[in-house]
Structure 1
């Protein structure tokens, strides 16, 4: 039997005090961010988080008895960036809708928490009646550690944390982006450029990898695209950045024939700026997006994009959470739901004479 890993062993491994390790693993104040990351990394490497008795275990409730029970049962839905991740948002709202509908069908409640401060987060929790957590979008490691410490099962949607054992639900971003890029190459485009930032989210990174994989397989160089600064992506203020980039490309006569965008919001902005600056879409430049938000079908030309099964992702997260409660010891799963390319009017064969 493997020897139990203690906080003291982690402290000895790093040359710090047990008090520092305790503070770092609790997610509370008193240690700087660099030290916290070192402690979390060491704890993960030593196997601290994988120990069955390292954390408190919440009472297991059989899923098929939940509706018959008179007790109130709820699932925490953690969404730190509530400004963009809410029921009204074009992307996250559909995931939330899937979670909400699936829970309602089972007679379960949903508690939405946007708190990012660990101390405040803990004070909001009442473990009694909490079945587990579904995290939507990017969530900090300290917050997830606190939930894990409480012994609550975790399912993450559209993100993963290598230090936190959890099930995850994603769209097959990499594969479907590779298919979309291959299609654009197949209709004659050899000067393509990606717009996004692969540091923004796991989904953006996978879409960037899929794009580059398709170029590599077709023997095309992966040209430097527009990397939108993270603050601009997070607050949705990337229009000036895209406008400046397109203007420079037009002036230098180096505009690509196809823009492969990391999501629809970026693609719609690029499409409108191109048209405003006198570039015909798709006759001169094709534009594609990703997510198939409602606005993708509006405007002219309508946007070629990838349909992400957003509501199905939310539903599958609920199903997985209840499965995990029933079968806590089964291997963790990374669930990929298939996306589909939606061909619309913003893409067309490359203009004559546009090859490299």
Structure 2
């Protein structure tokens, strides 16, 4: 049987004091962000977080606001207001709707927290008043560390953190874009490009991998040429206006080189809407000159002209399944964590047609 990993072992591995390790894992001041990250990474490598009661209980329950008994069965939904992760979002808002509907059906309350500061967030972390936590979208490691320190059951939707063990839920991003790209190739497209930043999220990266794998399965390599990055146009931002100018400039260059793509596979619908506007601003037609596809199936996708070919993410279902997974985790705290992927539906609309 393996021996318990101690703070002293972590300290010895890094050449720092046990005091530094203790403060870093406890989230206390007096330790730089760089040192804290090194401590967390080493603790992960040594298996410290896999142990029961790995964290010091630094937050004293009696110092936190008490929650009345009738409100004790509540779930904290953490969705920091970054990168358009808001309740008004056509994507994130639908996931919240699913969480809310399932909690209400089961008789639980919901508290939505958009706080990004660890210090302020600790105000909400009263283990006596919270059943568990569901994180929606991108959340910093420091915030997740606070949740894990208190031992609260945790489920993440559309996000994962290699340093924090938790159940996670995703749409099947890789398989969906793989199927979509194979479809475009099947109807004649031979010059395809992926539009979106692979650094934005795990979901975007998996969608790009699905695109790449489909090209490789067809023996098409990079899709547009010999350069590894020829088929990837990294667009910063998530709104349609963020994509218009970068895509327009890129297409103008391709046009001069007589190497225009015949299909753009976009990381999400908003980017696809901006890409379609860029295509049309150059006097090109969608889909006759360039086909455009998106991902998510937000309401605006069906309203654009022509309607957008996209992948329908079961957004409400993601929220409902997150609640189900959390309730199961409450009952089975020591069971292995799970990564759940929900299948998506491909919606072929007027923005794509056969390639030339």
1:336 matches 2:341: yes
- Between stretches 18-27 and 150-159, larger displacement belongs to 18-27
Query: Which residue of structure 2 lines up, in the alignment, with residue 32 of structure 1?
Result: 32
Q: Aligned pair count?
A: 339
Query: Which residue of structure 2 lines up, in the alignment, with residue 188 of structure 1?
Result: 188
Matches within 5 A, 1:170-181: 170-181=170-181
List, as ranges, runs of 4+ consecutive aligned residues in structure 1 with deviation greater than 6 Å: none
1:258 matches 2:249: no
Query: Which residue of structure 2 lines up, in the alignment, with residue 281 of structure 1?
Result: 286
Query: Which residue of structure 2 lines up, in the alignment, with residue 64 of structure 1?
Result: none
How big is the shift at 1:114?
Answer: 1.7
Query: Which residue of structure 2 lines up, in the alignment, with residue 145 of structure 1?
Result: 145
How big is the shift at 1:47?
Answer: 1.2
Query: 8 Å contact 2:166–2:337 — kept in the other structure?
Result: yes
Q: Deviations over 1:99-118 (max 9, x none)?
A: 11111111211111122221
Of 231, 237, 258, which residue of structure 2 is paired with 1:225? 231
Query: 8 Å contact 1:86–1:96 — kept in the other structure?
Result: no
SS of the residue corresponding to residue 151 of structure 1 reads coil
1:125 matches 2:131: no
Structure 2 residue runs of 5 or longer lacking an equivalent are 58-68, 225-229
User: For 1:98 and 1:236, how far apart are their aligned partners in 2?
Assistant: 28
Query: 8 Å contact 1:226–1:245 — kept in the other structure?
Result: no
Of 294, 299, 304, which residue of structure 1 is paired with 2:299? 294
SS of the residue corresponding to residue 132 of structure 2 reads strand
Let me know the Cα RMSD of the aligned residues. 1.9
Query: Which residue of structure 1 lines up, in the alignment, with residue 250 of structure 2?
Result: 245
1:157 matches 2:157: yes
How big is the shift at 1:186?
Answer: 0.3
Query: Which residue of structure 2 lines up, in the alignment, with residue 314 of structure 1?
Result: 319
How big is the shift at 1:280?
Answer: 0.9
User: For 2:261 and 2:283, how far apart are their aligned partners in 1?
Assistant: 15
C-alpha distance 71-266 of structure 1, shift in aligned 2 (>3 A)? closer
Query: 8 Å contact 2:245–2:278 — kept in the other structure?
Result: no
How big is the shift at 1:137?
Answer: 0.8
Query: 8 Å contact 2:26–2:55 — kept in the other structure?
Result: no
How big is the shift at 1:26?
Answer: 2.7
Query: Which residue of structure 2 lines up, in the alignment, with residue 50 of structure 1?
Result: 50
Q: Deviations over 1:221-247 (max 9, x none)?
A: 2242344354x3489734322222222
Query: Which residue of structure 2 lines up, in the alignment, with residue 267 of structure 1?
Result: 272
Query: 8 Å contact 2:176–2:210 — kept in the other structure?
Result: yes
- Between stretches 25-34 and 198-207, larger displacement belongs to 25-34
Query: 8 Å contact 1:10–1:43 — kept in the other structure?
Result: yes
C-alpha distance 337-284 of structure 1, shift in aligned 2 (>3 A)? same
How big is the shift at 1:73?
Answer: 1.6
Query: Which residue of structure 2 lines up, in the alignment, with residue 97 of structure 1?
Result: 97
User: For 2:239 and 2:34, how far apart are their aligned partners in 1?
Assistant: 23
User: For 1:54 and 1:34, how far apart are their aligned partners in 2?
Assistant: 21
Query: Which residue of structure 2 lines up, in the alignment, with residue 201 of structure 1?
Result: 201
Structure 1 residue runs of 5 or longer lacking an equivalent are 58-68, 352-356
